[in-house]
A and B are shown apart, each in its own frame.
Chain A
Amino acid sequence: MKKQMLLIGFLCLILAIMVFADSDSLSATLTVTSATPTIKVEPLLAVTLNQGTTKNISVYFNVTDPNGADDLNDTTAQATLTKSGEQARQSSLQCGQIGESGIKIQYNCSVSIQYFDAAGFWDVNVTIKTNAGSLYVNDTTQITLNSLDAVVINDTSIGFGSLAVDSTDNLGDVVKIINQGNSIYAQINITGFDLNGDDVATEVISANNFEAVTSTAPNTGTSLTNSTSVEVSGAALVKGASANEELYFYVDVPSGLLAQQYTSIADWIIETK
């Protein structure tokens, strides 16, 4: 009988386990009060940069200080954006305190970023000091900078002036290609077109008579081809504060050409890729 009672008790234990098994996990919460301020950065949207200029982005973050809001030194709040190989961008002006609720303070730091700052993920580093000088950091957030492709051709005209027939290597004005974005271009192509005479259209200066060079040394560059994109030898466009590439155009004037004004049959295209 005693043995039976033991078995029944064991059965009850099994049933009890089954009942408690309704809950998949058992959790315990232990709250420890700390005097350490905690920083939480608000999520940041991907940023579209502005061509050729700066853009200010706002980094919002909350600091919860169990010692009270007065424990924090507002003037030390700072946000810095970093990415490997890029210049760090730091909030230059004092971050603004935009809200306070008990022991929680909200800050807004404005960070100025450049049009040439690389696309990709940037680390957001937010810091603040207490009045006692202790530094607190949150560096767990990232922000995405989008790609910006902005290539500008400067205020330049190609003027060849008066040219003699059967003359070669006549230099025109320089064309400056400026990068106002954050992309890097390993290649610059030009699509040239033939020039027809304005009065006698059958008179043609072929696109082949033009050469694009990255220096003032003729016959070292690339001859153009009518209606065809050709890569300019050695031409590229990096990114940066004053990133640009200069192209020089030379023309050979064929013999027997009629004196008149000549105009390209289509728009020439400068292509960066």
Chain B
Amino acid sequence: MRQLLIFFSLFFLILPMVLGGFSSPYLENDQLKIKKGEVKDYTIVLQNPSDEGIIFILEFQQGNGLIVSKLEDAYTAEPNTFDNEVTVEFKLPKNPGKSYPVAYSVLTKKKVQEQSMIVMGNKISKQFTIVLDEEQPEIKSINTKGIIISLAIPLLGILAYLIFIKKRKP
């Protein structure tokens, strides 16, 4: 018998877990429209319904010069809180393209005291597209007064000619 019993104390996944979640704005067609030069806020609300603190690690992946500003990479949500707002700012580069794909992930981890404990992290990945909001040229309202005046002045000229100048002719 060459069998050897080995004892696994696999510490991964051993903690009871209630990991937190997050809310993000609803984006129609997964598109966030931004005007040139505009700084657009994108607010994520971290939620922790558990009795222990939870760490959220926020990672953004973007390219093509899109400017993404956030205060921190990691945030802690206190126990039983549903309103931990994290605002991320987006700004297009100076000469923006039409669209910018954005992917981000939120990794949640439980705060643990003991070093030896290993926690199974939970990662949620999301993606959307930032689209250049090209302002439509404003359609000017019809200037009624202008039209009437422009029609009336030549008409008056013709009438004046008929009354005063033509009459003087022998």
Contacts and interface: CB of A to CB of B under 8 A. Distances in A.
Contact of A159 (B10, B126, B141): B10
Interface in A226-256: 251, 253
Interface of B, helix, strand, loop or mixed by DSSP:
mixed
Nearest to A271: B123
Interface in B1-33: 3-26, 28
Given A51-B49, A52-B49, A262-B8, A120 B26 contact: yes
A163 B8 contact: yes
Given A21-B149, A269-B122, A150 B22 contact: yes
Contacts of B22: 148-150
Nearest to A263: B11
A68 B55 CA distance: 57
Interface string A2-30: 00100110110010011001101100000
B15 to A, nearest CB: 8
B63 interface: no
Interface stretch (B66-74, B94-102, B103-111): B103-111
B21 A149 contact: yes
B149 A148 contact: no
A147 B105 contact: no
Given A163-B5, A262-B8, A270-B120, A151 B19 contact: yes
A135 interface: no
B69 to A, nearest CB: 21
A165 B2 CA distance: 9
Given A48-B45, A146-B23, A147-B25, A162 B120 contact: no
A51 B20 contact: yes
A50 B47 contact: yes
A11 B156 contact: yes
B105 A162 contact: no
Contact of A261 (B9, B121, B152): B9
A269 B144 contact: no
A151 B124 contact: yes
B132 interface: no
B82 interface: yes
A180 B22 CA distance: 10
Interface of A: 4, 7-8, 10-11, 14, 17-18, 21-22, 24-25, 46, 48-53, 119-121, 144-166, 172, 175, 180-181, 183, 195, 251, 253, 257-264, 266-273
24 contacts: A7-B163, A8-B163, A50-B82, A121-B28, A144-B26, A146-B23, A146-B25, A146-B26, A147-B23, A147-B26, A147-B126, A148-B22, A149-B126, A150-B22, A153-B13, A158-B12, A164-B3, A164-B6, A165-B4, A267-B118, A269-B107, A269-B122, A270-B122, A271-B122
Given A48-B45, A144-B26, A159-B14, 10 more contacts: A14-B155, A21-B144, A21-B149, A50-B49, A52-B49, A251-B8, A257-B4, A257-B6, A262-B8, A264-B118
* Top 8 A-B pairs, shortest CB-CB distance: A150-B21, A273-B125, A155-B16, A271-B123, A157-B14, A51-B21, A259-B6, A48-B23
Interface of B: 3-26, 28, 45, 47, 49, 82-83, 105-107, 109, 116, 118-126, 141, 143-145, 148-149, 152, 155-156, 159, 162-163, 167
